[in-house]
A and B are shown apart, each in its own frame.
Chain A
C-alpha cells in the first residue's frame, strides 16, 4: 500500500472511531456546537498533515486533545470571533438525555469557570485523564491540577446550587 493510501485509510478509521467524542470534548471546552465543529475540523485537518509523525508515536489522541484544549476556550472568548448570520444557524435538536434547561445550566456553570479550571474539568472528568496526565497535557504541575480541580468543583457546585435555588424560587412565586 502506498504511503498516501495508508495515511488516508488510517486517518479515516481514526475519524470514524473518535470524531463524536472529539466534538463533545470541544463543545464542553467552548460551549458552542458550531464552534466545536469548527475546532474539530481544524484539529483533524492538522492531524492529517501530521499523521505520519503522529502515527509513529501513537499519539493521535494526545495531539488532537492538545489542539482542542488550547484552542477551545480561547476561541470562544475572542472578541473577533466571527459571527454567523441567524439564517445560517440550523435548528438545534433538544437532547433526549438531558433537558435543554439542565444542559444549559451545566454549560452555563462551566462557562463561569476560569479557562484553566474548565480545561482541568474536561480533561479529568470527561476524558478521564489522571492528575499526572492532565498536568502533562496542560504543562502545569500536579499540584496546580489538584488545586484547580478542587476550585472548579467547588465553583460548579455553587453555580448549580444557585441556579436550582433560583428556579425553585421562581416556581414558588
Chain B
C-alpha cells in the first residue's frame, strides 16, 4: 500500500459522508446557543463580567437589579446588541437597558456593587468574598504568593428581567520564583453549571477533560475521592496548571484553579490558548490536595 492507495482507502471509508444531509440551520442554532451561553456565563462570573463591560464587550444576561423603563435612558451607550431581535444598551456608568423584544418594554439594570477599581489595571470589586482567604489558608497561609492584582465578588441571585443566577468568586495573581500566574476560586449555581451543552450533556461535562466546557487545554483529568468520601474532579496540564471541582451538597459547583501561565483555559469565558503572562511560573507550588481542600471547604461563600 502506497500513499495514493491510502488516500483512496480513506476516501472510500468516508464516502458515506457525501450522502449526509447538510442542514446549516442546526449548526447555526447550536452556535447561537453556545454564544448566548458564553455571554450568560460571562454574567455568571460576577467579578469578571464587569471587566468585560469595562472593555466594551457584550453582556447578554442581565446581572443586577433594575426597574421597568419604558421611557428609555440617558447616558452614553457603549454597546448595543442582545440576542435575536432584542437589544441591550450598556452605558458608561456600567448600567444597561435590556429590551428583550423589538418594540417591547425596556428594563434598566443597575450596576450596583460593581465599582471596580484596578490596581495595575486588573479589576477589583468592592464586594469581597472569602474565597481567597479560604484558599490561602490551605495553599499560602503566609500570603507570600497571593500578591499582586486581585478581584473578588459575590453577586446575589436576582429574578425578573434584570435577573441572573448569582455567583461568587475571586481571582488573584500568583507570584512565585520571579514569575506571575493566577489563581481563581469560584462557586457557581446549579442553574449555570448544569446547563446542557449542545449535545444535551449537563455541565460539568463528564466526557471532556475540562471543568465546565470542552475547550480546555488541560490534558489529564480524573475523579478522586477524599478521605471523607467526597468525589472531586481534578485536572492537570503538566506541572503548570491544576484545577479541582466539587459539586457541593447544595448543588453549587466549587472550582479552584491555578495556572502558572495564566492561559485562562478553563474555567472562565475568556480562555485563550496563549499565556496571559509574559513571565509565567513554571511550576506553581500549589498542590492538588490544597485545591481539593479549598473546593470542599463548606465555608466558601456562595451567592445564596
Contacts and interface: CB of A to CB of B under 8 A. Distances in A.
Given A45-B34, A49-B35, A16 B24 contact: yes
Contact of B207 (A19, A82, A95, A96): A82
A15 B34 contact: no
Nearest to B2: A153
Interface in B20-58: 20, 22, 24-28, 30-35, 38
B227 interface: no
Given A11-B24, A24-B17, A27-B17, A48 B34 contact: yes
A156 B13 CA distance: 15
Contacts of A74: 209
Contacts of B14: 23-25, 27-28, 126
Contacts of A54: none
Interface string B72-105: 0000000001001000000000000000000000
Contact of B35 (A48, A82, A157): A48
B206 A82 contact: yes
A98 interface: yes
Interface stretch (B3-11, B234-242, B250-258): B3-11
A41 B28 CA distance: 10
A145 interface: no
B18 interface: yes
B84 to A, nearest CB: 8
Nearest to B15: A97
Interface residues of B, number: 41
Interface residues of A, number: 52
Interface string A60-97: 00000000000100110010111000000000010111
A41 B9 contact: no
Interface string A117-130: 00001100110100
Contacts of B35: 48-49
Contact of B10 (A47, A75, A125): A125
A160 interface: yes
A15 B10 contact: no
Interface string A21-41: 101110110000100001001
B208 interface: yes
Main secondary structure of the interface of A (DSSP, over half): helix
B264 to A, nearest CB: 15
A48 B32 contact: yes
Contacts of A78: 207-209
A73 to B, nearest CB: 13
Interface in A1-30: 3-4, 8, 11-13, 15-16, 19-21, 23-25, 27-28
A15 B14 CA distance: 18
A111 interface: no
Interface in B274-301: none
A52 B22 CA distance: 23
B27 A48 contact: yes
B1 interface: yes
A11 B30 CA distance: 12
A160 B1 CA distance: 9
B15 A96 contact: yes
Contact of B31 (A49, A80, A121): A49
Contacts of B19: 93
Contact of B3 (A23, A46, A95, A153): A153
23 contacts: A4-B84, A11-B31, A15-B24, A20-B20, A23-B14, A24-B17, A28-B13, A42-B197, A45-B198, A46-B215, A47-B31, A48-B28, A49-B35, A78-B207, A80-B207, A93-B19, A95-B13, A95-B15, A95-B16, A97-B15, A103-B12, A121-B6, A153-B3
